[in-house]
Chains A and B, each alone.
Chain A
Amino acid sequence: MDLNRLRQDSEFAWRIPAEAPMTVPGILYGDREQILQMDDKVYEQLRNVTLLPGLVGPVYAMPDAHWGYGFPIGGVAAFDADAGGVVSAGGVGFDISCGVRLLHTGLQAADIEDAKSALADSLYANIPVGVGSEGSISLGPESMRDMLEGGARWAVDQGYGCAGDLERTEECGCIPGADPDAVSERARKRQRREMGTLGSGNHYLEVQRVAELFDAGIASAYGLDPDHLVISIHCGSRGLGHQIGTDYLREMLLAASDFGLTLPDRELACAPIHSELGQRYIGAMRAGMNCALANRQIITHLTRAVFREHFPQAELTMLYDVSHNICKVETHVVEGVARELHVHRKGATRAFGPGNPDLDLSLRDAGQPVLIGGSMGTGSYVLAGTADSEHRALSSACHGAGRAMSRRKARREYGGRQVVDELARRGIVVRSPSLRGIAEEAPLAYKDVDRVVDNADRAGLARKVARLEPVVCVKG
């Protein structure tokens, strides 16, 4: 990215000044090197977002930002419904409520050392993953409606987990205001056999070791100890969410001129929040969010069954579950005034600081866990929302490493077998239906997650708590 087009606010914050027709500035977080390495498309896409109506405060790009479609991945923008603000299907994306769930196991790394391969085989055999996989749960019309309204709470009611899981899930596992009637028949059909499936691409289930602690106090509040094993589940709303995105992107694009909206990029398709279409999309998107929460809850249940078989002493309890592709109504203090905003986070994680009333009491002193997925060979991180998070970027932080090279280039550079063997040499057991898929997800195809997280910490977006290293990886 050309730094001459930016104004440097601080060592880790770079500004696109609000010049007409922009109504607000853009702020990019990262160090000089990171910003230099970002594609110019990130600049272009972030600037395009600033042209949408009803924005409040700057729009933001997180340190892992990269070229997306419409919004950059790692983009954050907030709109005021009463100021003509819009909701954008393109600002949420196809994988509605994709997110990360982290579970404690009560086990130490040494406990599973001799059983890693058998554990990996069982997880791979019992958790549907990859293209063409199907879950064992088939939803009829009534149970589909209940799931779309109830989210993880529905899943727990069906026996897939316990009440304690919900206390540690964003919105207690159920997003209010979902409208199943706004979800098309096609979206329902796509989801009928996909409950409890991981999907493919960068989605995974990993057993991870707590390799390093950075903040002993918050780590203790989160129950993280050195060498403690945790389980990370990264997936979203599956076919249902993908189809909701497809349906509403098209409808919003075609309706834009009726609303007097000039879209700088067709993928920024949006509708006024107060319009019938805007409200219908919000209802459908919330149903998609519930689908994602139910999906991660069912995968949690399947994972517990596998662990019970191999390690009867293991207790899989929730650390947290948080999404990174969403639009949510949140109250934020902007220039000293509390305002109700529709906050879009596309590839960005909510990061509520200590004291936030939306956090479970057990987390309120420490702040919200911010779960960052790395690539399968590097690390993942647990961060915590800080008192500064709201002021910096509407309580938002990064969501992962971000790709450093395209899938095509990764395929040319790496062989899937070579990646699996290299990871095995480092003690990381990988199971996947596709060697080509592994090549496309090779660790070096991703940016340096350590640097992304360091800069999120230094920029004050969230505080580093723990680094996690993969031990077993099940990948789509």
Chain B
Amino acid sequence: MHNRRWEHLEHDADIGLRATAPSRERLFEAMAEALTALIADPKDVRPAEAVPIHCEAPDDALLLTDWLNALIYEMAARKMLFGAWHVSIDGHVLDAVARGETVDRARHKPVVEVKGATYTALSVNQDSAGTWHGQCIVDV
């Protein structure tokens, strides 16, 4: 959970997620936290239930949208929110566990549901200092 940062980007219709982290795994975790933060405060989500997630993609950028879309799907189908994530990546194969709980409308005060992660302004890259950067626009 350390040395990673995320923020929400300005976008006219929708909203962007942007994060930096010392590794690809921590970057993907930060992006997941930014995603939950669109809906509710991640700190209010109890890690009561673990959901395994597996994604494979041809490159890092597509792996990021696959990861975010997998989280969006699990949240929608299970009526859950996630507040903790552990991501492992080998090449372009991701295995993760997302932990969270069923949406509690009184406690979580959920703001908006996310429809999907888009390929617009999508990027994942590592700078010369070794820091990983990622961003993605999501449709709400």
Q: Which residues of A contact B (CB under 8 A)?
A: 39, 41, 66-70, 73, 90, 93-95, 130-134, 186, 189-190, 193, 199-201, 239, 242-243, 245-246, 249-250, 253-254, 265-267, 269, 402-403, 405-409, 433-437, 440, 476
Contact = CB atoms under 8 A, between A and B. Distances in A.
B48 to A, nearest CB: 15
Given A70-B120, A250-B66, A253-B119, A200 B13 contact: no
A186 B73 contact: yes
A199 B139 CA distance: 13
Interface string B1-22: 0000000111111110000000
Interface string B104-128: 1100111111011111101000000
Given A39-B12, A67-B12, A131-B39, A94 B116 contact: yes
Most buried by A among B69, B103, B119: B119
Interface of B: 8-15, 39, 58, 62, 65-66, 69, 72-73, 76-77, 79, 102-105, 108-113, 115-120, 122, 137, 139-140
20 contacts: A67-B12, A67-B13, A93-B139, A130-B110, A131-B110, A189-B77, A190-B76, A190-B77, A193-B79, A199-B113, A200-B112, A201-B113, A243-B76, A249-B119, A250-B66, A266-B119, A267-B119, A403-B12, A406-B12, A409-B10
A433 B109 contact: yes
Contacts of A408: 8-10, 15
Contacts of A186: 73, 77
Contacts, number: 134
A437 B15 CA distance: 14
Nearest to A439: B111
Nearest to B15: A407
Contacts of A254: 58
B22 to A, nearest CB: 26
Contacts of A239: 76-77
A249 B39 CA distance: 24
B97 to A, nearest CB: 19
Nearest to B38: A407
A409 to B, nearest CB: 6
Nearest to A245: B116
Given A132-B103, A408-B8, A242 B116 contact: yes
Given A189-B77, A250-B66, A132 B110 contact: yes
A94 B139 contact: yes
A94 B113 CA distance: 12
Contact of A200 (B58, B113, B118): B113
B112 A440 contact: yes
Contacts of A402: 12-13
Contacts of A193: 79
Contacts of B72: 242, 246
Contacts of A243: 73, 76, 116
A253 B10 CA distance: 25
A406 B15 contact: yes
A1 to B, nearest CB: 13
A132 B109 contact: no
A406 to B, nearest CB: 4
Contacts of B77: 186, 189-190, 239
Contact of B11 (A90, A250, A406): A406
A41 B137 CA distance: 14
